[in-house]
Amino acid sequence: MQFSLLILLLAGSASAFDAPEDTHSYLKYQGETNCPADHRLMSVGFARNNLQEVCNLLSDWEFARLSGYASLGGPGNNCVVYESDHRHLNSSLCVALTEHSLIRGALIQGGFRSPDELTRMTQSDWRVALIDELANRTRDDAHQWDELDNQALAGLGLLVSYLRNGERVSDTELSQYTATDIRQSVIGELQAQTGIDLLSLQSMSNIDLYHIIMSG
């Protein structure tokens, strides 16, 4: 029953848990740290996983901004990725936000927003709201939460809801937790409750872990 309720809240089928990110939904945008609506700065991991395609968006000697003050150089710079580059750059690499239904589900499950409130917000606002809630309740700041894609962010939001709603962790304790601590705490509980071996649990996404929680 609980799992069926979650599916209704997410307004999608079970396949939403496994929907891959569209690796072609990215673009170069003029201006530093600027992205159009429903896009965010591309992460270093995404850039490296799609290096040749992303690099080809740039002119030979161009550098473009990635998230976390990183940058990517064009073909003339051998598509080099600098993880820390505080120079002023003239363009940014942006990737489309996906899995908004999961963000919505995390906000509702956590009691952070009501369904009525969410209908008056844009999908981009949903993401900002969840980042703010998690940053205000945990040790990680908003910048660190914003580094996550929608699926990872929503998954951790759902795990926080599980810990808080079951009073497994107090709000005071949660305020000292990082995203890694949240995940490891849930994995420890699931290993004890289900007998699933630790390596298998550690290999699962946050959404997969929550799926196990809700399916009993």
User: 58 and 154: one domain?
Assistant: no
Mean pLDDT of the chain: 85
Does residue 209 register a pLDDT over 80? yes
Identify the domain containing residue 105 by its residue range.
99-215
User: 208 and 145: one domain?
Assistant: yes
Predicted local confidence at residue 21, as pLDDT: 38
> Would residue 175 count as lying in a domain?
yes
* Number of structural domains found in the chain: 2
Q: How confident is the model at residue 216 (pLDDT cuts 50, 70, 90)?
A: low
Neighbours of 129 (CB within 10 A): 19
User: 171 and 113: one domain?
Assistant: yes
Hey, CA dihedral for 132, 1, 189, 211, is it positive or negative? negative
User: 85 and 147: one domain?
Assistant: no
pLDDT in tens, 134-184: 999 999 999 999 989 888 999 999 999 999 998 899 999 999 999 999 999
* Cα–Cα distance, 172 to 195 (Å, whole number): 29
Final residue in a domain of this structure, among 42, 61, 96: 96
Q: What is the CATH number of the domain that holds 81?
A: 3.10.40.10
Final residue in a domain of this structure, among 96, 127, 156: 96
Across 25-53, average pLDDT:
85
pLDDT in tens, 53-101: 999 999 999 999 998 789 999 999 999 999 899 999 999 999 887 668 7
